[in-house]
Structure 1
Amino acid sequence: MGGATAIASTNVTPGHFRVAGQEFPHVKWWNLRNLRATYCLLFFVILTSATNGYDGSMVNGLLSLKQFTTYMKNPGGSITGLFSGIMFLGSLLALPVTPYIADGLGRRWGIFIGSLIMIFAVILQSCSVNFSMFIAARFFLGFGVAIAHGAAPLLITELCHPQHRAIFTTIYNTTWYIGSIVAAWLTFGTNHIGNQWSWRIPSIVQALPSILQITCVWFVPESPRWYMFKGKPEQALKVLADVHAEGNANDEVVQLEFEEIKETLAIEKEQETTGWLELFQTPGNRRRLLILISAGLFSQWSGNGLVSYYISGVLTGIGIKDSNTQLIINGVLNIWNMIIATVMCFFVDKIGRRPLFLISTAGMMCCFIVWTICSERYDATHVKANGSAVVAMIFLYYTFYNIAWSGLLVGYTVEILPFAMRAKGMCYMFAMVDVALFFNTYVNPIALKHIGWKYYIVYCVWLAAELIFIFFFYIETKNTPLEEIAKHFDGDAALVGGAMATEKGRIIEQEIHEKDTKEATAHEESVGL
C-alpha cells in the first residue's frame, strides 16, 4: 500500500517547475516587483502560526516565573494541565465554523475575524485578577487562533507561484518558532521584574501579531481559487496575472493555471464535493483522511508536547531547577529549532515529502529511546552527566522533528486536498492536533509527577508505530501543481480539468459544456419569443 495509486510523475528537470504538463525555467521572485511585494505581505499571513508558537513558549515561561505562580496561588497537577489545555478546547469548539468563514467570506476575512477575537482574548488575559479569568481568556484565544489558522495556510498555498508553493506553505508552520523565541526570551527578561508586570508584559505582547494582521491582511491579494469558486473568473485572472506574471494576463503560465483552476473547480462543483462526509466517500479520499488524522496526532503525540509546554517539569526531573537556567535552555532550543525547520523548507521539493517524514520519525524514535535511558540513569544515580545527556538528546530529538513535522504538518496536508474539500479537510487535521494537545497538556504534568521517566517509554513505542504507518500510507507529491495532486490519490478518477484532465475529468467537462450549450440555446429561444 506504500506505493500509492499515483499516476502523475514527480520528476522535473533541475532548474524548472511544471504547470499543466509543461516545464518552465525557474523564476527569480526577488527580481519581480509584484511577486516580491506579495511574498513580503504574506509574512503577515504567516504570523498566525507565530501567534501559536508564542503562546506555547509563554506558557512554559510563565510556569517558570515565581511572580506568576505566586499570584495565581501556585497551580499544579491537573490545574496546570487545564491552564494549557483550555486553549486547545477553545480551538476544537471553533473548528466547525472555520470552513464556513474561509469558504463563505474569503481567506482574508477568516484571518481578520480570528485575529480580532485573539486581541479581545489577550486584553482579558492581561487584565486577569485570578486564575479563572486567565483560563477563560485562553479559551477565547484558542477560539480565535482556530479561525485564523483555518484560513491562513489556504491563502498561502492558493496564492503562491507554483514554483514556490511548497516552500512557502512549509515555512508557514515553522514560524511557530519565531513566536516561541520572542516569548521565551521576553519571559526570561521579565523574570527580573519583581512584580506582576513580569507576567502581564508577555501577555500584552501576545496581541502584537494579531494587531499587525488585522492592519495588513487587506493589502494581501485574495485567493484566485476562491474568486473562481465564487464565480468571479475576471478577478481570479487578475490576481494570477498580477502576482505570477507582473500583470500580464496573456502569460503562458498564467493562462495554463487559469484554465486548469477554472475547469477543475467547475468539475468539483458539478460533482458536489463540498460536504463534511466527502472524505469518507472514495478510496482516495479515505486515504487523505487517514493522512490528515494521523498527521494531526503524530505532530503532537510524538513526545514533543513534553518540551513544548512542560520543559520546566522535564528539566526539574533531571536536576535543572533554576528558573533562569530553564528559561535559557528553552530560549536556545527555540532558536535552534527555527534554524533547522527553516532550512528544511528549501528541501521539500528536492528530497520529497515521504522521505523527510520517514527520516524525521525514525530519528525521533532513536533519540527518544536514548533520552529515556539517560533519564532512567539520572533517576537511579543522580549523576549530572546523565542529566546533561538528556538535554543533548532533547536538542537532537528536535533536530529530527524539524526535518519534517514542524513545516510539513500544514504544507503537506493542505496540498493533498482538492479546493472544495480544503477548508473542511484541514479542520479534521487541526481537530486531531487540538485533541492531542488537550490530552497532552492535561495528562503530561500528571504523568510526569507520578511516574517520571517511565512515561517516556509510551512515546518510544508510539514513535515506532508512527514510522510503520507513514511507510505504508504517506504518498509522495513533490513537484506537482496544486490541482494535479489529486491524481496521486485518485488516479484516472481524479477530478482534474484543463490541459492535464483525467479521463473522468474530460467526461465531466464535456457534460458541463453540453449543459451550458443547452442552457444558452434555451435562453436565446426564450429571448427570441
Structure 2
Amino acid sequence: MSGKYSLLNNVYFLGGFATMGGMLFGFDISSMSGVVGTERYQEYFKHPSSSLQGGIVAAMAAGSFLGALMAGSLGDRISRKRTIMLAACIWIVGSIIQCASVNAGMLIVGRIINGVAVGLASMIVPVYQSEIAPKNIRGRIVSLQQWAITWGILIQYFIQYGCSFIQSNAAFRIPWGIQVVPGLILLAGISVFPYSPRWLADQDRPEEALEVLANLRANGNKNDPAVLAEFKEIQDAITFDRTLAARSYAELFRYPNAKRVFLGMTLQSWSQLTGMNVAMYYIVFIFQGAGITGQNANLQASSIQYVLNVVMTIPAILFIDKWGRRPVLLVGSTFMALWLFLIGGLMGRFGSATSFDGNSTTTWAISNNSSASHAVIACSYLFVCSFAISWGPVSWTYPAEIYPLRIRSKAVSLSTASNWAFNFILAYAVPPALQNIQYRTYYIFGGFCVAMTIHVFFMFPETKGRTLEEMDELFNSDIPAWKTRALPASKLEHDIEEIKASQADEKAEVK
C-alpha cells in the first residue's frame, strides 16, 4: 500500500476503530444499569439483595482486573494487535454465557469472562493508539477510547430501553446477547490492522517498523524527514533502554520508574473515585433518590445523562492537545466536587428515609418537592458533563503516554488494573452505601475529587506536545509539575530540520 492512500494508513481510522474495545466496556455498563430496576430482571433473579446486586455488577470489574494484569505481558509477547483480537474472542464467549444465564451464579460467571475481555482491551487499546499516533494529535486519538465508551453506554442503553417494553425475559436477554455483535466486528477489523511500529522496532523488526511508520506519517514515503526523525528517535530510545535493566515487573518499582508507575496507577484510581462509573451502573437508584419514580420516567431521565456523556466528550477530543492534560484534570475535578457536594446537600436537606417496593437499595429519597428533585437531576447532569470533558478522556491518555517502551505495556497494565480494582470495590460497596449512609455517599466522592485536585496540581507534569521518547527527560527532571507547561518545544522538530538540511545538501552535491 506504499504510495497510495488507504484507510489502514489513516491514524484516525485505526485509532477510532480500535476503540471498539472501549465500546465493549460501555456496552457492559449499560447492560446492567438499564435492567437493575426493571420488573422482569428483579423477578427472574429473585429480587437480589443490595449485596448480591453489588456482586453481580462488580463481577465484571473483577474480571477486568485480571484481564488488565494479563494484558501487560501479552502486549509485549504477542503484540498489541493480537491482544485486542484475543479480547474480542473472550468477549464473545462471555456475552453468550451472560445471555443464557439461568441464575445469578451463571450471570456472574458470564460477567467475569466479559470483564477479562474488557480488562485486556481497556489496557492495550490506549497503548496501541499512543504508539501509532503523532505527538500533536496523540491526546485526541487516545481520547477516542473514552468517546467509544460513552457511545457503547448510549447505544446499549437505548437497546435496553426498547427491550424494557417486552413482556418476557427477552427484555434482558436480547440486550445481553446483542453484545456479541461489536465483539465480532472488532475481531474481524483488527485482524487486518498494522502492528504498532514501536512494538515492531522493539522486536528487532526495523524494516517493518519503518514501513508502518512511513505509511502512517507520509503515505509510504520512507525518506520523509519526519518519518526518519521519528524512526531514529524510536531506535535511539530502544538502544538506550536495553543498556538499563531487564524488562521485569520488578523494574517498575525501581528508581526512576516508580514515580511514573505510581502516577499512572493513582490517576486511574482517582478516575473511579470520582464516582462516575458508579453513577453509570446505578443511575436508576440515583434518580430514585431524586424522586423520579416509574420505570419509563426513570429510563428517560437516565437517557439524557448518557447523551450528555457522549456530546460533552467531543470538546475534549478536539482540544485536549491544545488545552493540555493538567488544566483539564484540575478544572474537571474541581467542578465534579462542587456538583457532588450540592447533590448530597440537596438530598440531605429535602430528602427523608423511604423504601421502594421490590427494591431495598434506595432508602433515602426526595418526595413531593419537584424543585429539589430537578436541582439534584441538574447537578447529576452537570457532574457527568464535567467528567466527560476532563477525567474521562485524560485518564486513558495520560498513562498510555508517560512510560518508556521497555516497561510501557506492563506499567499501563498496572495502571488499568488499578482502575478495575477500584471499579470492583465501588461497584460492590455503593448499593450498601446508598442503603446505609444514603445521601452522605455523595460527600465521600466529593471529598475524593478535592483530594485528586490537590494531587494533580503538585505531582502531574504536563505531557502535551512531547513524543513518547521524550517522556524520560520530562519526568526525570527536577522541574516542579506546575511549571512544566513552560518547557521548551519538542526536540523532534529540530531533528526534522536537520534531516531536511542534510537531504538538501545531498541533492546539491548530486547536481
- Could you tell me the TM-score, scaled by structure 1's length? 0.85
Compute the displacement of 1:194 (Å).
0.3
Q: 386, 389, 394: which is aligned to 1:400?
A: 386
Check if 1:387 corresponds to 2:373.
yes
Compute the displacement of 1:38 (Å).
4.6
Q: 439, 445, 454: which is aligned to 2:440?
A: 454
What is the match of residue 220 of structure 1? Answer: 193
How do 1:58-457 residues align onto structure 2 when only pairs under 5 Å count?
58-272=31-245, 274-283=247-256, 285-380=257-352, 382=367, 383-457=369-443
Compute the displacement of 1:237 (Å).
0.3
1:332 partner amino acid:
I
Partners of 2:19 and 2:125 within 8 A in 1: yes
**2 CA distance for matches of 1:34 and 1:442?**
42
Q: Greater CA deviation, 97-106 or 158-167? A: 158-167
What is the match of residue 11 of structure 1? Answer: none
Q: 453, 460, 474: which is aligned to 1:474?
A: 460
**2 CA distance for matches of 1:370 and 1:492?**
39
**1 CA distance for matches of 2:347 and 2:145?**
34
Compute the displacement of 1:83 (Å).
0.6
Partners of 2:119 and 2:417 within 8 A in 1: no
1:270 aligns to what SS in structure 2? Answer: coil
What per-residue deviation string (whole Å, max 9, x for no partner) do you get for residues 315-353 of structure 1? 111221211122112222111111111221221121111
* Alpha-carbon distance change, 64 to 430 in structure 1, aligned in 2, over 3 angstroms: same
**2 CA distance for matches of 1:151 and 1:464?**
30
* Alpha-carbon distance change, 87 to 448 in structure 1, aligned in 2, over 3 angstroms: same
2:427 aligns to what SS in structure 1? Answer: helix
**2 CA distance for matches of 1:43 and 1:59?**
25
Compute the displacement of 1:174 (Å).
2.5
Compute the displacement of 1:61 (Å).
0.4
Compute the displacement of 1:436 (Å).
0.9
Compute the displacement of 1:177 (Å).
0.4
**1 CA distance for matches of 2:147 and 2:154?**
12
Compute the displacement of 1:273 (Å).
5.3
Partners of 1:279 and 1:289 within 8 A in 2: yes
Check if 1:55 corresponds to 2:41.
no
**2 CA distance for matches of 1:32 and 1:485?**
31
**2 CA distance for matches of 1:107 and 1:305?**
26
Q: Greater CA deviation, 252-261 or 59-68? A: 59-68
Compute the displacement of 1:75 (Å).
1.0
Compute the displacement of 1:277 (Å).
2.4
Partners of 1:378 and 1:384 within 8 A in 2: no
How do 1:10-49 residues align onto structure 2 when only pairs under 5 Å count?
33=6, 37-49=10-22
The alignment-based identity, stated in percent, is 27
Unmatched runs of 5 consecutive residues or more in structure 1: 1-30, 494-498, 502-529
**2 CA distance for matches of 1:35 and 1:191?**
39
Compute the displacement of 1:492 (Å).
9.6
**1 CA distance for matches of 2:269 and 2:123?**
17
Compute the displacement of 1:378 (Å).
2.5
Partners of 1:287 and 1:473 within 8 A in 2: no
What per-residue deviation string (whole Å, max 9, x for no partner) do you get for residues 4-58 of structure 1? xxxxxxxxxxxxxxxxxxxxxxxxxxx9655764532433311011110111112
2:428 aligns to what SS in structure 1? Answer: helix
2:419 aligns to what SS in structure 1? Answer: helix
What per-residue deviation string (whole Å, max 9, x for no partner) do you get for residues 72-97 of structure 1? 11112100000100111112223332
Unmatched runs of 5 consecutive residues or more in structure 2: 353-365, 480-489, 493-511
* Alpha-carbon distance change, 223 to 444 in structure 1, aligned in 2, over 3 angstroms: same
Q: Greater CA deviation, 437-446 or 315-324? A: 315-324
The number of equivalent residue pairs is 465
**2 CA distance for matches of 1:492 and 1:324?**
56
What is the match of residue 355 of structure 2? Answer: none
What per-residue deviation string (whole Å, max 9, x for no partner) do you get for residues 283-331 of structure 1? 4x23212211211111111122431111111111122121112211222
1:371 aligns to what SS in structure 2? Answer: helix
**1 CA distance for matches of 2:298 and 2:167?**
18
What per-residue deviation string (whole Å, max 9, x for no partner) do you get for residues 442-498 of structure 1? 1100010122112222122222111111111111011111211221101399xxxxx
1:428 partner amino acid:
L
Compute the displacement of 1:500 (Å).
5.1
* Alpha-carbon distance change, 95 to 172 in structure 1, aligned in 2, over 3 angstroms: closer
Partners of 2:8 and 2:193 within 8 A in 1: no
Compute the displacement of 1:279 (Å).
2.7
2:315 partner amino acid:
V
Compute the displacement of 1:371 (Å).
1.2
Partners of 1:62 and 1:68 within 8 A in 2: yes
**2 CA distance for matches of 1:122 and 1:91?**
14
